[in-house]
Structure 1
Amino acid sequence: MPSRIGLLPQVATAHSISHLHIMALAALFPLLPAWFGVGYVELGLALSLFNIVSALLQAPMGFAVDHYGARRVLIAGLALGSCSFLLIALFPTYTWLLVAMALAGVANAVYHPADYALLAQGIDPARMGKAFSVHTFAGFLGAAVAPLVLPAIAAASDPRLAFVAVALAGFAALALLLVPGSGIPRIAPARTAKAAAGKPDNARRRLLSPMILTLTLLFVLLNLSTSAIEKFSLPALMQGQGIALPWANAALSAFLFASAFGVLSGGVLADRTRRHGLVAAAAFSLAALLTALVATAGFSGQALVIVLGVIGFLTGVIAPSRDMLVRAASPKGAEGRTFGIVSSGFNIGGALGPVGFGWLLDRGMPEGIFWASVVFMGLTVVMTLAQEAWRSRSSRHIKHSCS
């Protein structure tokens, strides 16, 4: 088995930067309309472009990971993503923002297939749930840093320097991946599905199986459920409830940090239970209820921080179980392309949501941001319960057939 020394920390660091890049624009949303001279719909379009490009390239990047090796693809993606945000700082116009976000979308398509392929090859299967939780925790932590650090940098100078900081963080992570003798270079490219399975047609059918397509749709709903809060809660709270920017930032940061620690708790659950659908349904049901309260109750700043923190923790709990479901559905040797296909659901959701969420803000309906999240959380609960029921019936059928 390949050495695991340094592998998880390096992959987790790269994942944290990917989420910092994802959240960079959203963390600066209250400042950007005046800086670029555009509205929230136009900013939402930039986010949608980022996610459309990522959605189109997730599956091809998964094939590239399995063919060329995850290390090469991951290094290239991290370098491109960092350069993209440097472009925004160098050319601060809306046109260049669109160009940079499209390039960042190319880079973002790399992370999930490359990261998960490296973990699947280099981590002891008995510890896979915890490894996935650490990996996801690092990503959520990178996202949580954005609303704390980037607005402060922008306020001290202007958004240009905040985008420079985002780029420099990426270059620092890239240097860590290139350390000689580190864990990542020891991971060889995965065998292709053809070599692993021996039957290309069978492997192709498994990659497009109902389970993988269902998981892809689940990822779409998960993104729509949480991205409304992650990307648009700052202006929604300020417009709709008169929350001052420092308290709105604190509430969003509580959501993101609690999500990260929820992931760690979810990693323990993922290694101890097979009822991943029930875990997700229970957590998201309670999160939907609390999000509805945020939309209607008019919490004070302190209470809002607590409630959004609880919501974040609940949405983070399900992440490792989600990843374990994808790993279980992946054909041997095709982990990169499987995670590439399924992770495209995140980007599909990310492409659909921002323009609609921006439209709600521009039309003076900020409470709609939270109600939209409630609706998508409810759909996620229905889907996970239906999937759990289907798995239970299939298991009983198999046992009956064998008896």
Structure 2
Amino acid sequence: MLLVSLAHLVSHVYILALPPLFPFLRDGLQVGFVELGFALTIFNVVSAVAQAPIGFLVDRIGAQRVLAAGLALGGLALLSIGLVGTYAWLLVGAALAGLANGVFHPADYALISAGIPKAQLGRAFSLHTFAGYLGTAIAPAVLIGLALLGGPGLALCVVGLAGVLLVGFILPMRVPTTQDQTSGQRSAAGSQGATDRSVFTPAIISLTIFFTLLSFSNGAIQNFSVAALVSGYGVTLTQANGVLTAFLMLSAFGVLVGGFLADRTRRHGDVAAAAFALTALLTLLVAVADLGAVTLTLVLGTAGFLSGVIAPSRDMMVQAAAPSGGSGRTFGIVSTGFNVGGAIGPLLFGWILDHGAPRWVFGAAVGFMLLTVVVALRDRWSACGKNGARVQAE
């Protein structure tokens, strides 16, 4: 758990390695923010396309080797961007980093599913997600601090080298193999066509939509709340960053609480729906009311905590939908929803801000949250219907 969670932390640092350096890269590469933003689009598109095939690869050759390869490729991609220092190679490096990013969710979740008893799986998922949130929280400070010391090239080289060095700990680690995983891999080798079909179920398609909606609403707050608060709420940049920090930090602690909840109930869809409905209510308050900086911090901090609570239940829903021996490809498929939201969401919320409607950043986030609640409840109702039909058949 320590090594897999550390790899997840590093993966989130990889994801946020470029955006904090944009002011440095703009001057150094003599390009605009649109050109720099295009690198992030490439990253997300490549990651979205690669994630599902990598999930199948995880189930076929093993998660440990794939995870090590992803860490190495992501680290070398950032290292090369720092060393080459041209815009053309920035785009190439972003594509390589996007390919590497497609590794982490399928490989990490397959390793956790194989090595952790089911009774502790919710808490294991919560620790894994907490590590990712921690990586998100520390990445800007680490990258900007290193850039101030020696420039953006040094910052990217240090982060890339750290990921490559972690490979030396991932490769020799001992990974327990469950009987379920072994039989699943044997089945994949013997009848690949059947297992390929089994993973594309209505439940998994619904969960992919669920992940996409989560990406839209969380991305609205994480990426655009500061700009929206400054332009539409009369708060300072420092205060707005404080509000966002409260949201992110309390989200991380909400994940840990959510892990204990996930291990104490099988009604994961209900937990996710209830927590996100409350999150939507608090976000709606921000959208329609005139709140001061302190109140905004309390309200969005609480919303962040509740949004973090659902993460382990979300992962348990995916695990429950996965076919035998198919955790890697299942998490690979549903995680493409994050990349879809990451590619489309910024265009939508940037358009909202460009049209002078900052409160609608939160209003649109509420809409996506409510759709997420509907999807979670729909999965719950579908599961109840199938269970009832099974009981009648018996």
Give TM-score scaled by structure 1 length: 0.86
Counterpart CA distance in 1 for 2:234 and 2:144 is: 19
Equivalent residue, structure 2, for 1:104:
97
Equivalent residue, structure 1, for 2:197:
205
- Cα distance change of structure 1 residues 365 and 96 upon mapping to structure 2, 3 Å threshold: farther
Bigger shift: residues 340-349 or 103-112 = 340-349
Deviation at 1:304, TM superposition (A): 3.2
Counterpart CA distance in 2 for 1:154 and 1:298 is: 38
Aligned length: 392
Q: Which amino acid is the alignment partner of residue 64 of structure 1?
A: L
Equivalent residue, structure 1, for 2:260:
268
Secondary structure of the residue aligned to 1:333 is coil
1:186-230 deviation digits (Å, cap 9, x = unpaired): 669954747237655543332111111111111111111111222
Gaps of 5+ in 1: 1-7
Note if contact 2:269-2:317 (Cα within 8 Å) is conserved in structure 1.
Answer: no
Q: Which amino acid is the alignment partner of residue 215 of structure 1?
A: L
1:241-282 deviation digits (Å, cap 9, x = unpaired): 454443333322222221111111111111111211111111
2:163 corresponds to 1:183: no
Deviation at 1:90, TM superposition (A): 3.4
- Cα distance change of structure 1 residues 166 and 234 upon mapping to structure 2, 3 Å threshold: farther
Secondary structure of the residue aligned to 2:280 is helix
Deviation at 1:114, TM superposition (A): 0.7
Equivalent residue, structure 2, for 1:3:
none
- Cα distance change of structure 1 residues 362 and 86 upon mapping to structure 2, 3 Å threshold: farther
Equivalent residue, structure 2, for 1:5:
none
Equivalent residue, structure 2, for 1:124:
117
Q: Which amino acid is the alignment partner of residue 85 of structure 1?
A: L
Which of 46, 60, 70 is matched with 1:67 structurally? 60
- Cα distance change of structure 1 residues 83 and 107 upon mapping to structure 2, 3 Å threshold: same
- Cα distance change of structure 1 residues 195 and 92 upon mapping to structure 2, 3 Å threshold: same
Q: How does 1:2-401 map to 2 (within 5 A)?
A: 8-27=1-20, 41-154=34-147, 159-178=152-171, 180=172, 182-184=173-175, 191=182, 193=184, 195-196=186-187, 200-241=192-233, 243-401=235-393
- Cα distance change of structure 1 residues 200 and 78 upon mapping to structure 2, 3 Å threshold: closer
Note if contact 1:41-1:359 (Cα within 8 Å) is conserved in structure 2.
Answer: no
1:77-112 deviation digits (Å, cap 9, x = unpaired): 111112222344335554443322221110100001
Counterpart CA distance in 2 for 1:97 and 1:364 is: 32
- Quote the RMSD (CA, aligned, Å): 2.9
Bigger shift: residues 8-17 or 224-233 = 224-233
Deviation at 1:25, TM superposition (A): 3.7
1:25-49 deviation digits (Å, cap 9, x = unpaired): 4455677666666666555433332
Q: Name the % identity.
A: 53
Give TM-score scaled by structure 2 length: 0.88
Secondary structure of the residue aligned to 1:318 is helix
